[in-house]
Amino acid sequence: MDYLYGLINSTVFDATDARLIFLVLTGLAVLIVCLGIGFMVLGLSDPLRLKMMMLRKQVPGGSASVSNDRLATKTSRTSLSESLAPKEGWQDSKTQVRLTNAGFRSSSAVADYYAIRFLLILLLPGIALGVTQFMPEMSANNIAATLVLALVVGIILPSYVLDKLIARRQRALRNAFPDALDMLVVCVEAGLGLQMALQRVADEIQVSHPILADELHQVNNETRVGVDRIQALRNMAIRTGLEDIRGLVASLDQSIRFGTSIADTLRVYSDEFRDKRLQRAEELAAKIATKMIFPLTFCLWPSFFLVMVGPAVLGVLAVYATR
C-alpha cells in the first residue's frame, strides 16, 4: 500500500489528488474482490449442484450408483425444461424485455447490465480524473465539468448501446419476416401442422436468417416443455418487439380460438402484410422529395450558382475594373 501510494504521489504532484486517486483505486479493488467472492458463492450455491452433491452422499456405490445417475439425469432434465420455459413475470420487467429484444436471454442478463452500468459510472470519472492530472493548465471548474460529463456518459452509454443493438436486431428480424411468412404459408397449405411448419421454416432459414430461426426454435422448445402454443408465440412477439409478429400472433390466436383454418388465416395475413409493405415503401418514396430539399439547398445549389453566375460576375467586375 505504501509503495502504491508513493508511486501515485510521485506521478501526481498534488497530495490531495494523489490521495483521491489512491482511494478510488482501493475502492475499485475492494469492489472487484467482493464481486469475485459473490460470484464464487453463487456458483457454489447452485441448486442443481447442491442437489447432485446431496444425491451422491445419500446413495453411495454399487447398484445405488445407477439410481444416483438416474436421479441426476432426471434432475438435469428438469433443469433443462425450466431453462427452456420462460420464467413467470419476465414480461413485467422493462429492462428484461429490452435485453431480450437485444438478444440477451440469459438469467443473469439484468444483473450483468446493471453491473456494467455501475462499473462505467465508477470507471469513466476515474479515467477522466486521471487524464486531467496530465493537464495542469485546466482550472478546477473545467475538471469538475469533465467529471460530470464522464458521469453522464457512464449513465447514458449502456442504454444507448442497448438501443442500437435492439434496432439492429429488429432490422434483421424485419427483413427476414416476409420470407419466413411466405414459407410458413406454403408449409401449412401443404398439410403440415403449425408446430411442424415452424420447425421446417426455422430449419430452412437457419443459414440466411439465423436470428429469426433461433426465435422459431425457441417457440418449438417452449411448446415441447409444456408451454401453450399461443403463449409461446406471444413470448416470441415480446422477445422480438415487432408489430408484424404481434399481428401474426393475434391472427393465429383468433383462428385457433374460433376454429377457422390456420392456412386461410396465414394467407389473408400474408396478403395484408404485402399491402402494408407496399404502403410503407410508397410512404418512404413520398418522403424523399422533402428530405432532398436541404441537401439540394445547402450542397448542390451553391455549387450550381457558383458555376452559372460566377463567370458573369467576374465579367462585370472586369468591366468595372477597366473604367
Task: Give the least confident one: 28-37, 108-117, 165-174, 207-216.
Answer: 28-37
Task: Give the least confident one: 18-32, 108-122, 227-241.
Answer: 18-32
Side-chain half-sphere CA neighbours of 251 within 13 A: 20
- The pLDDT score that the predictor gives to residue 161 is 93
For residue 7, what is its C-alpha cell? 508511486
299: DSSP letter:
I
- The pLDDT score that the predictor gives to residue 150 is 87
- The pLDDT score that the predictor gives to residue 90 is 67
Q: Mark out the alpha helices in 45-132 (DSSP H runs).
A: 47-58, 63-84, 94-101, 109-132
pLDDT in tens, 229-281: 888 888 888 888 888 888 888 888 888 888 888 888 888 888 888 888 888 88
In this model, does residue 72 exceed pLDDT 80?
no
Q: Look at the pTM and tell me if it is higher than 0.85.
A: no
Please state the rounded mean pLDDT for residues 41-62: 56
CB atoms within 10 A of CB 184: 24
Query: CA 274, 220, 217: angle at the middle one, nearest 5?
Result: 70
Distance CA 128, CA 150 (A): 7
Residue percentage of the chain with pLDDT more than 90:
5
70 falls in which pLDDT band (50, 70, 90)? very low
Q: At what angle do helices 243-258 and 262-291 cross, to 10 degrees?
A: 160
- C-beta contacts of 294-302 below 8 A and 24+ residues apart: none
In this model, does residue 63 exceed pLDDT 50?
no
CB atoms within 10 A of CB 323: 4
- The pLDDT score that the predictor gives to residue 135 is 77
86: DSSP letter:
P
Domain boundaries, the chain: 2-167, 170-287
Distance CA 272, CA 244 (A): 11
Please state the rounded mean pLDDT for residues 150-179: 90
Instruction: Output 292 or 93, whichever has higher pLDDT.
Output: 292
- The pLDDT score that the predictor gives to residue 160 is 93
